[in-house]
Amino acid sequence: MYFKNLYLCLSSLFFLIIKKKNNNLVIYSENIYYFSLFEKIIKNLSQENIKISYLTSDINEFNLLSSYNIEKYYIGNGLIRALIFFFVRSQIFLLTLSDLGNYELKKSKYCNNYFYLFHSLQSSHVQYSFNAFQNYDLIFCNGEYHKNEIEQSEKIFKFKKKKCILSGNTYFDFLLDNKKNINQNPKSILIAPSWNLNENNFFNIHCSELIDNLLKKNINCIFRPHPMHYIKSKKIINEILKKYGNEKNFEFDYNKNNFESLSNSKVVITDNSGIANEFILAFNRRVIFFNFQNKIHNKQFKKINLKSFEEIIKDEFGYIIQPEDISNIEFHLNKVLLNEITQKKLDEFLKKYISNVGSSVNIITKEIKKKLKDI
């Protein structure tokens, strides 16, 4: 498998860089989870005979792409990926990767149009780094809140001006499209901790205790770590698997896509995971938030005097408890399930905050086609 993957990486390097292949549109996906963001974009643009080169660091996603009318390239996560990023030739490069140019993945001098697509509904100025988007030329915003945050950042920190398009969010639309397929009688509780750079976080300190309390009450629970936990917190994951892996009411969610675990859950328990936003707004189900150390990756966020989308969601729809309430988690679950969110309130919230619900792909592909035509 190693040599096959290496061969695929070297082939990608040869065709994209050494042969100096010119592309209309390059899309980069970090893993198979992000394919649901790009799928409709690919289908729409392929019908317009726009040549798409799809780069992925996930071999499973690479194998999935055979049925699509695109050129696919597996580029791994190492030096070859960095070289391809630095030398790739394309009229437009579309990514969900924050911090482009800030670390090992640099911009190419042969590509003048870098477009950013948000993979969740989170705000841009708290849980992302200080300069996460400064190297992009255009940003597809979920709604006015993203546009306001980005424009405020440009003004306060003297960042270059970027074009902001109120597109909506393709992953949120994916969830809405598949809402008819969700489990209408879910039995489980989904534990979805966020990734936090601070080691004194909810995942490290409280997740095992929470699972323990749910299982003692004979409550079905699904545990879904953040993808970064597999890289940075393997020891804790292995401890949880060793302790609870054989329990009949415990399920460890290995899936790259979170749709199935969301579908089978009646309540999500989290600290600050972006899953909470989609769970509430797409499925009209309840979330319990632990009031535990906000996830802040931008220490200068207070200079941008705007309330984050995740805080707005908590205020409007969240049920907030303290870490010391873990021992009473059954009581809080019963209480939160009694308080249903009306569809009217949900619709009004979506209308206010999320642009082009259900049709974000049309706005995104229209902008890409317009730019290609101008070029």
User: Three-class SS string for the chain?
Assistant: CHHHHHHHHHHHHHHHHHCCCEEEEEEEECCHHHHHHHHHHHHHHHCCCCCEEEEECCHHHHHHHHHCCCEEEECCCCHHHHHHHHHCEEEEEEECCCCCCCCCCCCCCCCCCEEEECCCCCCCCCCCCCCCCCCCCEEEECCHHHHHHHHHHHHHHCCCCCEEEECCCHHHHHHHHCHHHCCCCCCEEEECCCCCCCCCCHHHHHHHHHHHHHHHCCCCEEECCCHHHHHHCHHHHHHHHHHHCCCCCEEECCCCCCHHHHHCEEEEEECCCCHHHHHHHHHCCEEEEECCCCCCCCCCHHHCCCCCHHHHHHHHHCEEECHHHHHHHHHHHHHHHHCCCCHHHHHHHHHHHCCCCCCHHHHHHHHHHHHHHHC
Q: What is the CATH number of the domain that holds 279?
A: 3.40.50.12580
- Tell whether 235 and 144 lie within a shared domain: no
pLDDT given at position 33: 84
- Tell whether 189 and 301 lie within a shared domain: yes
pLDDT given at position 14: 86
pLDDT given at position 197: 67
pLDDT given at position 159: 94
pLDDT given at position 316: 94
Task: Say yes or no to pLDDT of 187 above 70.
Answer: yes
Q: What is the total count of domains within the chain? A: 2
- Tell whether 321 and 370 lie within a shared domain: no
pLDDT tens digits, one per residue of 251-277: 999 887 788 999 999 999 998 888 899
Task: Say yes or no to pLDDT of 195 above 80.
Answer: no
Q: What is the CATH number of the domain that holds 63?
A: 3.40.50.11720
pLDDT tens digits, one per residue of 33-51: 899 999 999 999 998 889 8
- Tell whether 129 and 240 lie within a shared domain: no
Query: What's the whole-number average pLDDT of the chain?
Result: 91
pLDDT given at position 293: 65
- Tell whether 250 and 160 lie within a shared domain: no
pLDDT given at position 205: 77
- Tell whether 348 and 360 lie within a shared domain: no
- Tell whether 338 and 226 lie within a shared domain: yes
- Tell whether 346 and 317 lie within a shared domain: yes
- Tell whether 169 and 190 lie within a shared domain: no
pLDDT tens digits, one per residue of 141-171: 999 999 999 999 999 999 999 999 999 999 9
- Tell whether 245 and 281 lie within a shared domain: yes
- Tell whether 276 and 319 lie within a shared domain: yes
pLDDT given at position 219: 95
Task: Say yes or no to pLDDT of 335 above 90.
Answer: yes
- Tell whether 151 and 199 lie within a shared domain: no
Q: Which domain holds residue 96?
A: 2-176+356-374
Task: Say yes or no to pLDDT of 341 above 70.
Answer: yes
